[in-house]
Amino acid sequence: MNQYIKNPASWTPPAMPDKIPQGDMPGDKIEIGEEHIKKAQLIFRELLAQIKELKKADSERKIVIAVCGGSGVGKSETASLLSFYFQQAGMGSYTLSGDNYPRRIPMYNDAERLRVFRESAIRGMVRENLFSPERFQIIHEKQEEGTDADAALPGEYGWYESYLRNGKCGLRAYLGSDSEINFAEIGEIVTRFKNQERVIWLKRMGRTDTELWYDAVDFSETEVLIIEWTHGNSDHYQGVDIPVLLNSTPQETMEHRRARNRDGAVDSPFTTLVLELEQELLAAQAHKAKIIVAKSGQLLSYEEYKELMDGSRMPERSQG
């Protein structure tokens, strides 16, 4: 058993080089700051202690860690740092990006999300006998403007509540579902890794329909697989030993996206709705997380996480 697994308290952070390996998402760029390093070191110490317990029954078992959280919370940076720390500690590690496994490339998936929202909204209005050509003209104008998901519109048009509610319901059912993501493929990778297969073919997905291929990855010297992904803690696949939740509020997520100007239209009402629903998914799965870290870098119990997300004051707690 690795010396740091035997004695987690003996681990000290290694010196940081100018660059470290990162996840396998094509074109992804990470920008590591001091806040990422502090969080990663805190998480790594917790991981060593938890892996020690997992290794007691089987010292040769391979470990799967999921680093999940909302958009812009630092999943890529944190996962890359954790992988670096494992490598430096003498434990082979690989970072897999779950963003390689949607059923559609980003631009098509974004379009499908919008289609699902709008079709569900209209069908719901029809079902509730609230649809009319006159109302559709207003809806169509908002769709053309890209503002039809604006939560303020029911204040102007009372019937618009039906459009938003039904659209949100349809979108909620699609986001993070098997219709959007090929969970079976990731589950198969996890199973093969834990069965100690030497070579596993992993998917690569770029941003166009000609950028999709597979690479053969040698896992013979890899002891830890880190899955970096918003949906890393999902119920749709099995095999994760230690889910790590990097928490952020929807407001913090939007502020970060606005600063990065990622994918454009970060302030659109539809993007805001998607982030809100992603946050709902993360919250519903948070009880399974073995490690929860607040944006401030504070370790949280599940109860403290719920208090924080309910808007309560940050609880007093040791940094570990």
The number of angstroms, rounded, from the C-alpha of 72 to the middle of its chain's C-alpha atoms is 9
Same domain, 86 and 115: no
Residue 94 lies in a domain: yes
Please identify which residue in the block is written with the tokens 């039809």.
148
Q: What is the pLDDT of residues 258-268, one digit of tens each?
A: 665 544 445 69
Q: What is the pLDDT of residues 143-162, one digit of tens each?
A: 999 999 999 999 999 999 99
- Give yes or no for residue 181 having a pLDDT over 50: yes
Q: How far apart are CA 30 and CA 82, in angstroms?
A: 14
Residue 271 lies in a domain: yes
Q: What is the pLDDT of residues 10-19, one digit of tens each?
A: 999 999 998 9
Same domain, 83 and 197: yes
Task: Record the pTM.
Answer: 0.91
Domain range spanning residue 47? 3-102+182-309
CATH number of residue 299's parent domain: 3.40.50.300
Residue 208 lies in a domain: yes
Q: Do the Cβ atoms of 300 and 308 come closer than 8 Å?
A: yes
Q: How far is CA 55 from CA 58, 59, 104, 181, 289, in A?
A: 5, 5, 38, 31, 19
How many domains is the chain partitioned into structurally?
Answer: 2
Q: How far apart are CA 45 and CA 43, in angstroms?
A: 6
Structure tokens at 236: 């749709």
Please identify which residue in the block is written with the tokens 């007691």.
56
- Give yes or no for residue 314 having a pLDDT over 50: no
**Residue 255: which residues within 8 A CB-CB, separation 6 or more?**
none
- Look over the chain and give the mean of its residue pLDDT values, rounded to a whole number: 92
Residue 318 lies in a domain: no
pLDDT of residue 254: 60
- How wide is the angle at C-alpha 93 spanned by C-alphas 89 and 97, nearest 5°? 140
Residue 319 lies in a domain: no
Same domain, 132 and 75: no
Going by their DSSP bridges, the two strands 291-293 and 299-300 should be labelled as: antiparallel
Q: What is the pLDDT of residues 194-253, one digit of tens each?
A: 999 999 999 999 999 999 999 999 999 999 999 999 999 999 999 999 999 999 866 666
Instruction: Give the confidence band of 88 by pLDDT, cuts at 50, 70, 90.
Output: very high
Same domain, 252 and 189: yes
